[in-house]
Structure 1
Amino acid sequence: MDTEVLDLPLSRTANERLHAMIPGGAHTYAKGDDQYPENLAPVISHGNGAHVWDLDGNRYIEYGSGLRSVSLGHAHPRVLEAVRRELDRGSNFVRPSIVEVEAAERFLATVPTAEMVKFAKNGSDATTAAVRLARAATGRPRVALCGDHPFFSVDDWFIGTTPMSAGIPAATNELTVAFPYGDLAATEQLLTRYQDEIACLILEPATHSEPPPGYLAGLRDLAHRHGCVLVFDEMITGFRWSEAGAQGLYGVVPDLSTFGKALGNGFAVSALAGRRDLMERGGLRHSGDRVFLLSTTHGAETHSLAAAMAVQTVYTEEGITARLHALGERLAAGVREVAAGMGVGDHLVVRGRASNLVFATLDEDLRPSQEYRTLFLRRLLAGGVLAPSFVVSSALSDEDIDRTVDVVAEACAVYRKALDAADPTPWLAGRPVRPVFRRTA
């Protein structure tokens, strides 16, 4: 049976303080302590590169940094240099800063498939602006989203489709429909069923599996044939797939696309980009009805835009996307080898593109299991690995990867014991971790 090998008294106290003042104890549900084993949710003191330290002084190798946003590692010197330079010059003015021009030019040079761009602070604002723009352009009310992808926005048009739909009117929920990834025939049936009602198709162009051959191009043709706007949510694929996103890698140009996460390396910046004729509907140089596209007080803070420009420079000059893939391939190969060696290769499953790896924990019957995830996370934390996913940052070293694989091997040995006992409960030391989207707390 597992014994307690990690004690986090200062983090436990801080978590209590968080819950006393902040609903959910975090500002992002995916960072909640319910996502971690009981009493083993570290509260972070600081980070540098691929490592973070908790309040109790423990150092961890970190994966999935900032929910995939910190892809260059914490406190990246070139990003910080650009940010500090702008902080001394003021961060927000009553008129646009020249930095907004420079940031737009840099972004459109990096993502040449887009013709115009508008910046915001978070991904939800960008995706919701894309939906609003599509509705305005088509005059149609419904949104079709890919039901196989986990998250698009905090706004009603998406959250109403999840188990956490409290507070969202049924009439709003009825305007969102879903299509399956990779299935053009099913999507065409949906478009035919709601003929002339669907404003846009929105999806992540790729996730844990590569798009089937011809799928993205076929989806674009299908959308246009039915008069819909095609929207790529590139919050995750942007930069991790290529500097120009999945659209640059696969050569399929959407009508609109949204970027964020890696764009700022932890600084708050997102982008809506796309065709000029669509984007200009949110501008001043057209004769139609005005679209309230994006208008945020802090959307063009100079230091965040400077961070984004620095990130794009680092990616292109230092070959960051290729490094992410190389690191991910090394990690995936190592994890699969030790999992197989410990007899749990069918139960601990690494999935996804090398730059965006996740893992699944399966029980004795090969069903997804929160109990086995809890067991696995406990052992990783005890070994100094903070890994809600295996999403790499470029700050990781080969030594970090090798150490992670060693810790995974130790965790797999415990995993095998629990499988042999057909009961992981003795190794949990508390309640199992919980899915983010659930109806009750």
Structure 2
Amino acid sequence: MDTEDTQVLALPRSRTANERLHALIPGGAHTYAKGDDQYPDNLAPVISHGRGAHVWDVDGNRYVEYGSGLRSVSLGHAHPRVIEAVRRELDRGSNFVRPSIVEVEAAERFLATVPTAEMVKFAKNGSDATTAAVRLARAATGRPRVALCADHPFFSVDDWFIGTTPMSAGIPSSTNELTVAFPYGDLAATEELLTRYEGEVACLILEPATHTEPPPGYLAGLRELADRHGCVLIFDEMITGFRWSEAGAQGLYGVVPDLSTFGKALGNGFAVSALAGRRDLMELGGLRHSGDRVFLLSTTHGAETHSLAAAMAVQSTYVEEGVTARLHALGERLAAGVREVAAHMGVGDHLVVLGRASNLVFATLDEHGQPSQRYRTLFLRRLLAGGVLAPSFVVSSALSEADVDHTVDVVAQACAVYRKALDAADPTPWLAGRPVKPVFRRLA
């Protein structure tokens, strides 16, 4: 191997910081997707700060960053309009014994942005919102089972979902039995599931789109199935919200769910999520009805004023500056560039860019065309060495065309090494340690 193949990035301060993290925090991070096992051995940078589309690690290295904050920072770090809105609230107090006027202003702004919903309740994370949606569906229907899309990777940290993953330790089997799964894009299989559990399924929950577009008529077909079988249709719009359109996938595709959940891009990194939907369902968690009360969402910090101010600033920025269109344009430039250099280097069938332009991911395939964590490790090592931090290719609007072009240049260099590993039918010499690992696995 030549020196290009053996180029390494030294991160001594990050390595020390990672040891401190593991000593005090289970998993070394507060989200498993940020764990150092997701990065090549000894190449997991610990971040010092970020500005726009760039971040700096504690070793002083600067990176062009993708997938910022697990897709939450879609406007770029420390966006001036968001920061100014937050600053205005900080010296006014953040939490009170009664609702703040900011709460109703944020609700009005959200419902104007997502007009398919009639009521909204805010929380701090996506799991609270999706679990509240499931609880509401069970209360409204009187049914126990949850039907979730088996092809979508994550819905909640709560038992109804985590029990279906390889990390199901600590969750009773009786809980797991109440969650069933349907495949994305297959209406016949979903109808068969609903017929098999006729009168038992409270809801269908899915991401309306991910790395593939919904087949023609699919979402409308799910709407019809849910209506016919008397269950609640829930769209998890944590990712699709704002990236597909300001009103999410439901706004783009024109299919209205009963309930939907938003988060991530809603706060540009500030902690805010939302459960929204039909008034008759949402009001079951309120005070203006005569039926059994539903403990919907009751979070001490759910209406923290500066996070709601951030959310309002994000929505204004998206609408006034055409952010969704910019995300798509940047993603299209990146995808075209990566595909071109991958093909030129002879790895176009092995480094595969997937997804909507505003939400790109990549797959790394081995010499047999199978997904490979070892080739992913090789690829990530080369990206990091070139100053690109990219667990995905999810763009933020803060990226410049120069950032994208630099990324494509680094990808080209990585593809040259990828080709050599494929020719050798063994990427091991280029890994310099253990491969990266999937988040959901049974053993640590």
Taking structure 1 as the reference length, what is the TM-score of the superposition?
Answer: 1.00
Match of 2:179 in 1: 176
Query: Cα deviation per residue 1:223-278 (whole Å; 9 max; x = unaligned)?
Result: 11000000000000000000000000000000000000000000000000000000
SS of the residue 1:118 aligns to:
strand
Cα distance in 2 for partners of 1:99, 1:217 equals: 35
Tell me, in whole angstroms, the C-alpha distance in 1 between the residues paired with 2:222 and 2:189.
11
The one-character-per-residue Cα deviations of 1:105-143 (angstroms, maximum 9, x if unpaired) are 000000000000000000000000000000000000000
Structure 1 CA distance, aligned partners of 2:217 and 2:97? Answer: 47
Corresponding residue SS for 1:90: coil
Q: Deviations over 1:164-185 (max 9, x none)?
A: 0000000000000000000000
Fraction of identical pairs, as percent: 91
How far is the alpha carbon of 1:380 from its aligned partner? 0.0
Please list the CA deviations of residues 402-425 of structure 1 after superposition, one character each: whole Å capped at 9, or x if unmatched: 000000000000000000000000
Q: CA deviation at 1:3?
A: 1.4
> Could you tell me which of 106, 121, 133 is aligned with 1:130?
133
- 1:192-220, Cα deviation, whole Å (9 max, x unpaired): 00000000000000000100011001101
Helix, strand or coil: the match of 2:165? Answer: coil
3-state DSSP class of the match of 1:42? coil
Distance (Å, rounded) in 2 between the aligned partners of 1:4 and 1:247: 46
Q: Distance in 1 between matches of 2:274 and 2:32?
A: 22
Alignment match of 1:211 (pick from 201, 204, 214): 214
- How many aligned positions are there? 440
- Structure 1 runs (4+) deviating above 4 angstroms are none
Give the Cα–Cα distance (whole angstroms) in 2 for the partners of residues 117 and 180 of structure 1. 29
Aligned 1:420-431 pairs, distance under 5 A: 420-431=423-434
- The answer for the alignment partner of 2:290 in structure 1 is 287
Name the structure 2 match of 1:79.
82
2:317 corresponds to which of 314, 317, 330: 314
Task: Measure, in 1, the Cα distance between the counterparts of 2:51 and 2:247.
Answer: 27
**Structure 1 CA distance for aligned equivalents of residues 124 and 227 of structure 2:** 30
Distance 1:115 1:296 in 2: 21
**Paired residue for 2:271?**
268
Gaps of 5+ in 1: none
Deviations 1:370-402 (A, max 9, x none): 000000000000000000000000000000000
Deviation of 1:328 after TM superposition, in Å, equals 0.1
Rounded Cα–Cα distance in structure 2 between residues aligned with 1:220 and 1:154: 26
Alignment partners' CA distance in 2, 1:238 and 1:165: 28
Q: Cα offset for 1:4? A: 3.9
Tell me the C-alpha RMSD between the 2 structures: 0.3
Give per-residue Cα distances to partners, 1:142-172, cap 9 Å, x unaligned. Answer: 0000000000000000000000000000000
2-structure distance, mates of 1:7, 1:125: 39
- Which whole-Å CA distance do the structure 2 matches of 1:42 and 1:5 have between them? 13
- In 2, distance between residues paired with 1:29 and 1:5? 25
Task: Give SS of 2:6's match.
Answer: coil
In the aligned structure 1, how far is the partner of 2:251 from the partner of 2:89?
Answer: 30
User: Following the alignment from structure 1 to structure 2, what is the Cα–Cα distance between the partners of residues 113 and 87?
Assistant: 32
Distance 1:82 1:214 in 2: 41
- Which structure 2 residues correspond to residues 294-313 of structure 1 after superposition, within 5 A? 294-313=297-316
Q: Which runs of 5+ in 2 are unaligned?
A: none
Q: What secondary structure is seen at the aligned counterpart in 2 of 1:291?
A: coil
Alpha-carbon distance, 1:5 to partner: 2.4
Tell me if 1:51 matches 2:54: yes
Q: Structure 2 length as normaliser, TM-score?
A: 0.99
Matched with 1:366 is: 369
Matched, 1:404 2:412: no
